[in-house]
Structure 1
């Protein structure tokens, strides 16, 4: 796909441990409140940060943010690959927000969660 559609109000899962003591950890669920974009040289938008409301968090309040709101910043990862025969190598850089849509989650991501019984 190459891009992640972000819509204000959508449920998301945090993909990193931001504040373990405050309950903002990998797998925390929240609601996307806002997204900040930069416009690249090619004219495309690139999400650089967002605000997520995490109702189960208990960390310190940040100035200018409502209670339970957290700022999520983009992360950069370098990915290197080497062709097995030619030994030619390439390095790519991936930048993205560490969040995922949470309309549905896999059993792997649900491990350790207490979920309501639907019947």
Structure 2
């Protein structure tokens, strides 16, 4: 069973067993504007929660995407190199950044569910 969680840094993780797919939220891509460049982590890279995992640049700003939990990268979304606009058009789907084998699942307990994240972003407005 897959579980979707969100961080206060506007990242999402879709957890399926011990693998998490990570990207940025609809809210985050709206704040960034048109994405023009994305750098995803290499396969095999070990990430600790809070590490810089990826870089996303837009016409407005450059921003880091931080590791949402400890894990080893098993895939980076290479499609984003050719088509960074996928982050804008489908941030919760084809615009994912990387997949990682989760090594500390307890860290996921600190994340928000969809309802909690929605309340979080409404409180920022």
Give TM-score scaled by structure 2 length.
Answer: 0.29
Name which structure has the greater RCO, CA cutoff 8 Å, separation 6+.
2
Q: From the CA coordinates, give the structure whose radius of gyration is larger.
A: 1
